[in-house]
């Protein structure tokens, strides 16, 4: 499980129907093995260097509280580490924020499951979320059903505040096939049909696009790691980053936000948010990415407010049959 500093708490009262309230989980154990290059470091120095979002004082308090063990022995004072040592941090239970926990099923054939994920619900454990995720909710649903039924598991990620099509599968072989297919570029050569096509809809900050309606704009800004004071690094526009390819089409211009369709041929982290910001038109309400594609230093990737939906997905099945799904338009989408 990945982790970072805790997500902000949401108000516990007056939740809409279908929401899980903020509630504590059972805690989690994080495991690290000390590489030879880190031999000689103290416990606090190792953790503070590896996970820079927590200070040395924070790690010192966790050590003194007996939350950290080395090779099965609980530690309460600083020790020098050796290569191959195994560290465990038993993080105490924490309250997870309230999340929407209801979704519509777009497709379910007993193996392949496609849902319309609501904005605000994380897909996998990370960033302060453990139980309030699509993965855990699917496992709970399966546990309440017929004995022996395998739980559907998400095949790919959507950002917490990105809504729309999320593909899951019950069989490991199906997950492996789908994962490979979704990683493949949807850009086809001349005369070829794309094997996988992913279309998103988004609202952008009005006035940032000097485009004609319906005219596609290719965006190829590379995406790489930039320094971030809270996390150590963050994904952003970077001339030395990984190749990334999107195609943006302006659908509707309005003072309340420019509606666009974005087809992505690569799947870099936060690609649409970064690419739209890179051309001077960040997603409306995006607190993180600035015009040009850089990131605000005091904001985390999991903070919401933007409008982005995974709207359509089409691919060719293993038997050659065409598969295509479409999510209903989001409430913010004027159509």
297 part of a folded domain: yes
The pLDDT of residue 4: 40
HSE-CB at 286 with a 13 A cutoff on CA atoms is: 31
CATH for 297:
3.30.2350.10
Highest mean pLDDT among 11-25, 62-76, 318-332: 62-76
**pTM summary value:** 0.87
103 part of a folded domain: no
Q: What is the phi/psi pair of residue 298, to 5°? A: -100, 15
Q: How far apart are CA 330 and CA 125, in angstroms?
A: 24
The pLDDT of residue 64: 97
Last residue of a domain, one of 38, 62, 92: 92
331 backbone φψ class: left, alpha, beta (φ>0; ψ -120 to 50): alpha
Split into its structural domains, the chain has a count of 2
Tell me which of 321 and 199 has the higher pLDDT: 199
Query: What is the signed CA dihedral for 238, 1, 129, 160, rounded to 10 degrees?
Result: 40
Lowest-confidence pick of 48-57, 69-78, 166-175, 246-255: 48-57
Range of the domain at 329: 190-335
Q: What is the phi/psi pair of residue 63, to 5°? A: -65, -50
pLDDT band for 287, please (50, 70, 90 cuts): very high
| Residue 312 pLDDT > 70 | yes
The pLDDT of residue 185: 56
326 part of a folded domain: yes
Last residue of a domain, one of 92, 127, 143: 92
19 part of a folded domain: no
- For the chain, how many residues are written? 335
130 part of a folded domain: no
CATH for 77:
3.10.290.10
Neighbour count for residue 211 (Cβ, 10 Å): 17
Q: Are residues 61 and 202 in the same domain?
A: no
């Amino acid at each position: 499980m990945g982790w970072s500093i805790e997500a902000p708490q949401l108000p516990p009262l007056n939740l809409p129907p279908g929401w899980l309230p903020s509630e504590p989980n059972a805690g989690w154990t994080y495991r690290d093995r000390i590489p030879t290059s880190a031999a000689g470091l103290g416990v606090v120095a190792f953790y503070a260097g590896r996970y820079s979002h927590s200070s040395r004082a924070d790690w010192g308090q966790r050590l003194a509280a007996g939350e950290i063990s080395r090779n099965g022995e609980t530690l309460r004072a600083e020790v020098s580490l050796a290569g191959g040592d195994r560290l465990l941090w038993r993080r105490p239970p924490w309250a997870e924020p309230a999340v929407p926990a209801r979704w519509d099923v777009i497709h379910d054939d007993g193996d392949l499951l496609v849902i319309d994920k609501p904005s605000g619900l994380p897909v996998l454990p990370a960033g302060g979320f453990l139980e309030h995720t699509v993965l855990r909710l699917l496992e709970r649903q399966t546990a309440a059903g017929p004995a022996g039924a395998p739980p559907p598991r998400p095949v790919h990620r959507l950002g917490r505040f990105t809504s729309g099509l999320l593909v899951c599968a019950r069989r490991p072989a199906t997950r492996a096939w789908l994962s490979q297919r979704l990683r493949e570029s949807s850009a086809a050569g001349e005369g070829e049909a794309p094997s996988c096509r992913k279309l998103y809809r988004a609202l952008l900050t009005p006035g940032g696009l000097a485009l004609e309606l319906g005219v596609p704009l290719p965006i190829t800004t590379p995406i790489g790691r930039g320094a971030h004071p809270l996390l150590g690094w963050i994904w952003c526009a970077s001339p030395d980053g990984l190749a990334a390819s999107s195609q943006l089409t302006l659908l509707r211009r309005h003072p309340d936000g420019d509606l666009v369709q974005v087809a992505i041929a690569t799947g870099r982290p936060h690609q649409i948010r970064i690419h739209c910001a890179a051309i001077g038109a960040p997603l409306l309400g995006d607190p993180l990415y600035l015009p040009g594609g850089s990131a605000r230093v005091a904001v985390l990737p999991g903070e919401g407010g933007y409008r982005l939906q995974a709207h359509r997905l089409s691919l060719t099945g293993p038997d050659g049959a065409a598969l295509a799904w479409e999510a209903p338009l989001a409430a913010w989408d004027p159509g």
